[in-house]
Structure 1
Amino acid sequence: MAFEDLQPTAYGVATVMFILGTVSIFLRLYCRSVILKTFGWDDVMAVFLLLVNTTQQAILYIFLHYGCGIHITLLSAYQIESIVKWLFIEEIFYMFTHWTIKQAFLLFYLRLSPQKNFRRMVLGTMVLNTAFTAINWMLAFLQCIPFDAILHAAAHPGAKCINKLVLLIVPSILNIITDMIILILPISTVWSLQMSIRRKIGVLAVIGFGASAVLISALRLIILYELYISPDLSYVLGKMVIVAALEVEFAVMAVNLPSVKALWNQITGGSSSGSGAASGYSGAYKLSSMERKRDGQYKQSSKVSGGRSGNRGSVTMLEQGVMSNESEEELFRQQGIKVTTNVAVTMGDKGESDTESGRRGYGGYQHAR
């Protein structure tokens, strides 16, 4: 049996989800500025997202104030006219909200790797995200000629308008396309990092939380089609308020989750011993907190037996030049090298030379036996 009044449910869902999304933003900012001390451009975008998300929430409340969630036959002409006006405003701002969320995610991706190809793909996705938003705005503003026919359709019987179903479905499809690209983009980069498989899966799981927003976006298509075929505009928009609140706030939480993971590790003691800014990090979070050195490159070299040195690949878990004990142990264990703290080079009874002794313990590293 259908609810005759969706407003209590819509108010409840929208409020709870907004609180969760807002708390995740504040936790992110706390982790980045206080715990990790790696405040970056993606965090600046998170501050902007806080303002954008608050405005989006206010629009949802305005919808409910004018009667969304209640059958249209119970509303006054003024309420219906107000809903139509705010529906157009929400079309524009909803697209901008998603643009902001995606840009915050992509700015975070720029921390993941110094590889030029990956960074070019991220920057290309930023451009694509902006282009899709511009296309959606053009569809919204040019959907009817004259423009006033958008808000007062009855007053312009001869207006030329784009098919309503196209206006409802195309923006959502473009939104889903960019969501899928953003989800797929980091997989190969994360999988190539010098980490255990367990940690790689953990990192991808944290990033992949955004898939929840993609699923909700797909479900939103059902509500959009119902909006196209149903004359009960206000009641269907009550459902849309619920779905929009879930979709936006899950996406907001997905953006902030990699940063909040550091707070979880600090509370649970999930990381092994470290010091300074590196203390309390997990391998998963270090990916999000890597900073490029001034020369634009990440470098790592390790000295091996016989005085030879070999490059073991680019650094993948640096945090402002500090590597925690946990990461060091993990990396050297993978390479068959173990870290030693004290090395004493002495002349043995059999006349062993310093060079021969050094082959066993040069630079504090020994081959694991």
Structure 2
Amino acid sequence: MDSSSVELSAAETRAIGLTIGLILGTGILSLIVCGLRLYARLFIIKQFGTDDFAVVVSLAMVQVFNGLGLSIVYYGSGKNLVHVPQTDLLMWFKLYYVAMCLYLWVSLSVKISLLLFQRRLFPTGWLQTTTLCLMIFLTLFTISGSRALALQCKPVRAGWDKTLTEAKCFSTFTIYQITLYQAVILFVTDLIILLLPIPLLYKLNMRAGKKVACALIFGSGIIACISPMVRFSTLDYLLQGSVDITYSSTSSLYWMAVEFNPGLVAGSLSSLRAFPVLRRFGSTFGSSGGGYANSKGYVNSRSMEMGNMSQSNASRKKRRRHNRPMGESVLEQTVNVSEERILGDDEHGKNGP
């Protein structure tokens, strides 16, 4: 069947257009925002940390996945199965199998970049421990989850080659159960990542408006957070045993893009303040001090020489610092270092651990 001679229904046309639009739209957005973040960190701030290297890797993996998604659409996603030529269908199954195997690894790369970003901003002990445990857990979860999907058939080739009629494969219900388990785990870990900075942001000595702005930056990842559960809700075709898989699986495909790309954007927004046009956003302190050592002994020697900080504010901070009792708590030290890294480190400070 020549695909060019097939007249697609309105539903098919809408599904194809929506999938391409979401993949391209979110993909271009993440490419622009992350590209600006990396440029700012490398050439303006001139400090390229571990989280920045993680973003490079994650951005590459996400863009490859976006390209894979567009290829899957090209070979049949969004069309009813009867409208997909046999040669295209063989390639579709192959590409969709690759996407299933890569899904958790791309998700891991995005989460690792976000966790490393939080570790740089908040050097407090409990957050460092929590993020490290999360990274270890997510890595082990990704290895086991990807293995289960990659080895769903025996021989393995039957995972994409449906002409092997004698192969033994997981039932569609088993695949559904695996996907449900993965969606719940991803949702819970995304929620933890989203909520981790909130207690520390609350303790920062910033104006209420600045706190809200920072919370919005971190909270912008809420779309990526809920995406695994929304994507799971689109997998009822597995539960029902639908044979029209090229059409039924379309919404699952574009929700993957919605999950990955906004997650990268959320972790890169704060670095954009290094550009002059955005520097006013969050560039001043509400009432915080500067130059404190963090809980690991690192000292930010530059005392926040922000262009718009008045001399009177600096004097008040100095007097308040001298009046503070000796033996400042680890929490207070961490809060001050975090303030510098969120609001000033993008221009002057040092990368944290």
TM-score (norm 2): 0.76
Match of 2:270 in 1: 258
Whole-angstrom distance in 1 between the partners of 2:341 and 2:234 = 45
Match of 2:73 in 1: 64
Q: Quick one: percent identity of the two aligned structures?
A: 22
Corresponding letter in the other structure for 1:164: I
Question: Are 1:103 and 2:112 matched, yes or no?
Answer: yes
Match of 1:43 in 2: 52
Counterpart mapping for 1:1-369 below 5 A: 3-5=11-13, 6-153=15-162, 155-157=164-166, 159=168, 161=170, 163-229=174-240, 230-263=242-275, 266-268=276-278, 270=280, 281-282=283-284, 295-296=297-298, 304=319, 310-311=325-326, 313-314=332-333, 315-316=336-337, 317-318=339-340
Whole-angstrom distance in 2 between the partners of 1:108 and 1:101 = 11
Pair 1:323–1:211, CA change in 2 (3 A): closer
- The Cα of 1:297 is off from its aligned counterpart by 6.2
Whole-angstrom distance in 2 between the partners of 1:21 and 1:255 = 10
Whole-angstrom distance in 1 between the partners of 2:295 and 2:285 = 20
Tell me, yes or no, if the aligned pair for 2:19 and 2:250 is still in contact at 8 Å: yes
Corresponding letter in the other structure for 1:219: V
Count of paired positions? 307
- The Cα of 1:160 is off from its aligned counterpart by 5.0
- The Cα of 1:308 is off from its aligned counterpart by 6.2
Pair 1:245–1:283, CA change in 2 (3 A): farther
Corresponding letter in the other structure for 1:161: F
- The Cα of 1:106 is off from its aligned counterpart by 0.4
Whole-angstrom distance in 1 between the partners of 2:244 and 2:285 = 51
Partner secondary structure for residue 325 of structure 2: strand
Pair 1:156–1:294, CA change in 2 (3 A): same
Tell me, yes or no, if the aligned pair for 1:101 and 1:255 is still in contact at 8 Å: no
Cα deviation code 1:285-335 (max 9, x no counterpart): x9xxx99698446799x7659x86634631333359x889xxxxxxxxxxx
Partner secondary structure for residue 67 of structure 1: coil
- The Cα of 1:185 is off from its aligned counterpart by 1.3
Whole-angstrom distance in 2 between the partners of 1:87 and 1:28 = 31
Gaps of 5+ in 2: 1-8, 304-316, 347-353
Corresponding letter in the other structure for 2:106: T
Corresponding letter in the other structure for 1:267: V
Mean Cα displacement is larger for which, 78-87 or 100-109? Answer: 78-87
Pair 1:291–1:175, CA change in 2 (3 A): farther
Using CA pairs under 8 Å that are at least 6 residues apart, name the structure with larger relative contact order, 1 or 2: 2
Pair 1:198–1:146, CA change in 2 (3 A): same
- The Cα of 1:220 is off from its aligned counterpart by 1.0
Corresponding letter in the other structure for 2:194: L
Corresponding letter in the other structure for 1:221: F
Corresponding letter in the other structure for 1:241: L
Mean Cα displacement is larger for which, 86-95 or 157-166? Answer: 157-166
Partner secondary structure for residue 3 of structure 1: helix
Match of 2:5 in 1: none
Whole-angstrom distance in 1 between the partners of 2:12 and 2:319 = 74
RMSD: 3.2
Structure showing greater radius of gyration is 1
Tell me, yes or no, if the aligned pair for 1:176 and 1:218 is still in contact at 8 Å: yes
Gaps of 5+ in 1: 272-279, 325-369
Corresponding letter in the other structure for 1:133: T
